[in-house]
């Protein structure tokens, strides 16, 4: 999987291919492999800076990936150094036999210089913070008082949070069910439940019955901020995988249209709604192409959860920070502006639109909304919790999200 990412592939897709290729693996084995791949990519430059010192030229990608994984294991389990090196050499012999001596030599040399690793890391900002330089500078510019904490949070394991379906139970009942299964969770301000320790979905009390769903606590602010009322016509413009769509429908009976550009991701929305016994009109379409999906009837509320850099959820997708480029942020900002322009035409006078990203970059967030409002005199910003907008920075409870609420003046 790490090698696939080094070749430009998506980590989640690589993991799913791995699972399909090894259906006989146990849940524990799949979890261990996943954790190793995700952790290696979170600490990609910490391993990379060591290899920079020990290799004159980068090795073949499979060997490069193998060395990164082995270096991570040497950090995690220094007492098992002999076993880690031996296993890495065996793995090299199975994939590129001619390079097994290289792997052995590099890892043993790395161990001899183990005390130098922190020195090498301290001199390299990318290794020290675990992010590319351009990413570090964007976060520093957007959040000068918190930039180091934002970067540090991006290298942690993400929390697991649950959304309680009010149609099928209460938050207190969900807490009691978890306690009965020997699990504990804390209730946060928006009634999300943050588990003290993650567990497989199959073991979640009430999941199969649709009483709870897995959704980040930060993402659960969206439905409450948009606050659609029973009977209203609502658009979820970029709906996959369907968590926010479902949350809206759990809160009220709505005439909801869910759009999704990708057919496979649209199928995920459909499956999520089916599990919860919820109904919405679902269309596969580009929300910018109004002629392809809009019947001319305006919407009372619009959820615009737009494509973005995903810089606020990078700890769940650590490949993003090494696959993204600075220019990608400019591309996303342009795409977001196109979506806002298109959707604004479909919003009824007096209606509200909630703009959402899972980004911590200003160009996709506050700056985007400021530019939009400057172009549209009929756009009124509504305060959120007494502020012009809401920027959630990733922490122990939630990922990073941005919310801005706009009303279309009559």
**Is the CATH number 3.40.50.150 carried by domain 221-408?**
yes
Instruction: Report residue 402's pLDDT band, with 50, 70 and 90 as the boundaries.
Output: very high
> Which residue, among 160, 187, 161, has the nearest Cα to 172 in the 3D structure?
187
Residue 303 has a pLDDT of 98
Residue 344 has a pLDDT of 98
287 is catalytic: no
Instruction: Report residue 73's pLDDT band, with 50, 70 and 90 as the boundaries.
Output: very high
> Which residue, among 153, 227, 202, has the nearest Cα to 398 in the 3D structure?
153
* DSSP-derived pairing of the beta strands 379-382 and 401-408: antiparallel
Per the prediction, the chain carries an average pLDDT of: 95
3-class SS of residue 32: helix
User: Which tens digit of pLDDT belongs to each residue from 304-351?
Assistant: 999 999 999 999 999 999 999 999 999 999 999 999 999 999 999 999
Residue with tokens 């490949």: 319
Instruction: Please identify which of the residues 287, 308, 358, 373 carries the catalytic annotation.
Output: 358
User: Which tens digit of pLDDT belongs to each residue from 248-270?
Assistant: 999 999 999 999 999 999 999 99
**Position 15 pLDDT exceeds 90:** no
Instruction: Report residue 71's pLDDT band, with 50, 70 and 90 as the boundaries.
Output: very high
Pick the CATH number of 161-214 from 3.30.1360.120, 3.40.50.300, 3.30.428.10, 3.30.70.1170: 3.30.70.1170
Instruction: Report residue 89's pLDDT band, with 50, 70 and 90 as the boundaries.
Output: very high
Q: What's the mean pLDDT in 218-243?
A: 97
The CATH number assigned to the domain with range 2-127 reads: 1.10.940.10
**Position 29 pLDDT exceeds 90:** no
332 contacts: CB under 8 Å, gap ≥ 6: 307, 308, 309, 359, 364
Residue extents of the structural domains in the chain = 2-127, 161-214, 221-408
Residue 397 has a pLDDT of 96
- In angstroms, the Cα distances linking 287 to 10, 290, 398 are 24, 6, 28
Q: What is the pTM of this model?
A: 0.93
What whole-number percentage of the chain has pLDDT above 70?
100
* Residue 55 in tokens: 């290799």
User: Which tens digit of pLDDT belongs to each residue from 231-251?
Assistant: 999 999 999 999 999 999 999
> Which residue, among 217, 214, 256, has the nearest Cα to 358 in the 3D structure?
217
**Position 32 pLDDT exceeds 90:** no
What whole-number percentage of the chain has pLDDT above 90?
91
> Which residue, among 105, 126, 111, 101, has the nearest Cα to 49 in the 3D structure?
126
Residue 370 has a pLDDT of 98
Euclidean distance between CA atoms 304 and 348, whole angstroms: 15
Q: The dihedral of CA 267, 272, 276, 280: what is its sign?
A: negative
- The count of C-alpha atoms lying within 13 angstroms of the C-alpha of 106, restricted to the half-sphere facing its C-beta, is 27
User: Which tens digit of pLDDT belongs to each residue from 42-59?
Assistant: 999 999 999 999 998 889
Q: The dihedral of CA 92, 97, 102, 108: what is its sign?
A: positive
- In angstroms, the Cα distances linking 276 to 88, 211, 219, 221, 311 are 45, 8, 18, 19, 29
Residue 30 has a pLDDT of 85
**Position 225 pLDDT exceeds 90:** yes
Confirm if 185 and 196 have CB atoms less than 8 A apart. yes
Euclidean distance between CA atoms 410 and 405, whole angstroms: 16
């Amino acid at each position: 999987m790490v090698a696939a990412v080094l070749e430009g592939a998506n980590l989640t897709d690589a993991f799913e291919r791995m699972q399909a290729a090894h259906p006989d693996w146990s849940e524990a084995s799949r979890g261990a492999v996943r954790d190793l791949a995700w952790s290696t990519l979170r600490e990609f430059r910490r391993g990379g800076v060591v290899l920079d010192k020990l290799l004159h030229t980068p090795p073949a990608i499979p060997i490069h990936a193998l060395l990164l994984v082995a270096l991570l294991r040497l950090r995690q389990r220094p007492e098992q150094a002999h076993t880690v090196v031996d296993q890495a050499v065996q793995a090299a012999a199975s994939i590129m036999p001619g390079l097994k001596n290289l792997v052995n030599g590099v890892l043993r040399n790395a161990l001899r210089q183990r005390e130098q690793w922190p020195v090498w890391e301290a001199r390299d900002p990318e290794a020290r913070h675990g992010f590319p330089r351009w990413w570090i500078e964007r976060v520093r510019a957007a959040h000068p008082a918190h930039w180091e904490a934002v970067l540090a949070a991006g290298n942690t394991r993400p929390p697991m949070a649950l959304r309680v379906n009010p149609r099928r139970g209460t938050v207190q009942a969900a807490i009691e069910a978890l306690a009965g299964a020997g699990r504990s969770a804390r209730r946060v301000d928006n009634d999300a439940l943050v588990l003290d320790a993650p567990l497989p979905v199959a073991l979640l009390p009430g999941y199969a019955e649709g009483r709870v769903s897995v959704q980040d606590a930060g993402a659960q602010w969206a439905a409450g901020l948009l606050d659609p009322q029973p009977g209203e016509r609502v658009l979820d413009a970029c709906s996959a995988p369907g968590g926010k769509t479902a949350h809206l429908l759990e809160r009220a009976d709505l005439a909801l249209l869910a759009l999704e550009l990708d057919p496979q991701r649209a199928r995920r929305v459909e499956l999520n709604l089916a599990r919860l016994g919820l109904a919405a009109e679902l269309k596969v379409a580009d929300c910018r192409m109004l002629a392809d999906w809009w019947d001319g009837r305006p919407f009372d509320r619009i959820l615009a959860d737009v494509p973005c850099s995903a810089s606020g959820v990078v700890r769940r997708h650590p490949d993003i920070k090494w696959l993204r480029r600075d220019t990608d942020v400019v591309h996303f900002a342009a795409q977001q502006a196109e979506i806002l322009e298109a959707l604004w035409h479909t919003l009824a006078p007096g209606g509200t639109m909630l703009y959402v990203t899972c980004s911590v970059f200003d160009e996709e967030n506050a700056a985007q909304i400021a530019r939009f409002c400057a172009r549209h005199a009929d756009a009124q910003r509504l305060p959120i919790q007494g502020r012009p907008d809401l920027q959630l920075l990733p922490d122990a409870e939630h990922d990073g999200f941005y919310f801005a609420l706009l009303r279309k003046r009559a």
